[in-house]
Structure 1
């Protein structure tokens, strides 16, 4: 890579990690909000789900704005908006402020993926390598972001922690303002810059895109998104109900010390689950290269049905079974990502690949965010076991849609 490419990869990688750090720190904060504010899981699920929904809904207009104003400008606005939202969150004294802050975060974060991927595609010639680094940075944010949040909560109040999480965004903004890179360095290699997306072109391309195969792929994405948000949003709180005091297994802190009272083992199990998910992404990618992605999706979705049904009964058996079933959940949940990405590529035309991935984020993150509200309501009505049994319907439907798409593709 040349200097221009390295600058772009560093900027987009850092920004990608920050987006997912904010995204997956929220479930850890949810545990604290349930204790600090007079709110039910159903209500908080609606609030968090709304923020996550905006994260997905803004992906399509974000791509159009990136074409009009430039990717660097949009990513800078994204970083500033996310930082400002979490700064506002640190002053929350009730649910209204939390709702507004998470909504602002969702709007700001929504423009990142279309802008970041667009910037790499137009400025880096070695795109495959750049996309790989970009994905690795996102994985780092997924795993390390919640870990950093949990560690900071050992020492600081949650409001201070949310302010500290703004610091990386400020650093990324500072780097972007001082670094010099050409956003269109790789465009000439491909024979010129593509025409900007107009409303008429957007409508025409969307109509051409929505074939039977693509619609089925969107249904698969919807089931993935609903199950992803439904399980992860309240998972730290759910895990806390099954974990014994850590002092029963190992002495990390003096009994009765401030650190001992603040240590939440569930948050670290949640982080471990997300970290194992990185391995799931790798295996899922390898599988998608060896067999039909739709078959891989059917197998992974089917496995998730079993894990979801067995999760609570297994968790009740003790710590070792809980660790095993949590690891399986994290591994399988993230193994879906490369499989559905390969499926989208297979059932969308190359000329509309960017638009197809815009719809991908809209459906998976936008519509899928309703899973948080569904899980919050279920937890308040039927507790954890009933919630996981109900959520198992999503991967079951996902497996069905995958088999239908495979059959349709063969025909």
Structure 2
């Protein structure tokens, strides 16, 4: 059998471990990102905008919104299929993958897992098609890693609920048609569906961001918001609800960051082959080759980690520690790859003409949202020692 030349973007041919359907999804999402996102995202990042309303129906038609859920217009994809889609979305920009993750793994998944049949019928088909946008309100100005102490409260008033509090750093917040808001009640933490335009509910965008600029980030304020009894998600009480949805979103992150890292590595590789210094392409210099090799090694290892966790998830054997392993390893690896790639591009690397510093800036947010490195370290520490070190 004739030997084929290895692919510099996937030297171990990890992609060959994917099924035909998984490769088809990967290639389809990659084509969408290349045509619809990549030519414009540098400008969006520069201007601090994200055309979510225009892109949402296209993402719905692509089939990636809530793709890993069953029924109600959702594709019922496998975990690995969802993972490779996240990888290709984040190869274009973390903000794009964040939009899809929040819509599908947080807002839609919470309704799908814990909502009433009426809530599912009302919202899931609209969200899956991108005709509606959702957000997920858990984090507060003073409580991120410690949601058990959230200050948002919901109290009963006759048959209704009255909701008060503030949520912060909420992706899609100001453009959402429905917000899944988690609040303390007499019966523990409960989830509530708050529709756009509900009196007392407001959303203000966060400006001045240096990261995730091509993404909508908002503060949500609930000022004595009166909600009917059927606004509550009936299927869960306690933090198990929001934390289980966060686990789904973190799973998408551990795949997505492989795409960001790969994009930085291949950008640096292509640049090094054409950038001439001292009458030679800089790819011919030993120090540059070392950087490229180190980046390639880390991208491939992260890809293998994501693939293994995806297979465990599809087999029903993936636990929180596996998700923490993947997010902790793959995000910090991607940041280092992005920073190294920037050094190869030199001054060109700090412009929006190239994606590497945009990826690096975005990954600084990905590092801490939906579970900081410190929290994931403690999850893994407790797993291997049997001792909890949170308090």
TM-score (norm 1): 0.34
More helix by share: 1
More strand by share: 2
TM-score (norm 2): 0.35
Task: Answer 1 or 2: higher relative contact order, Cα 8 Å, separation at least 6.
Answer: 1
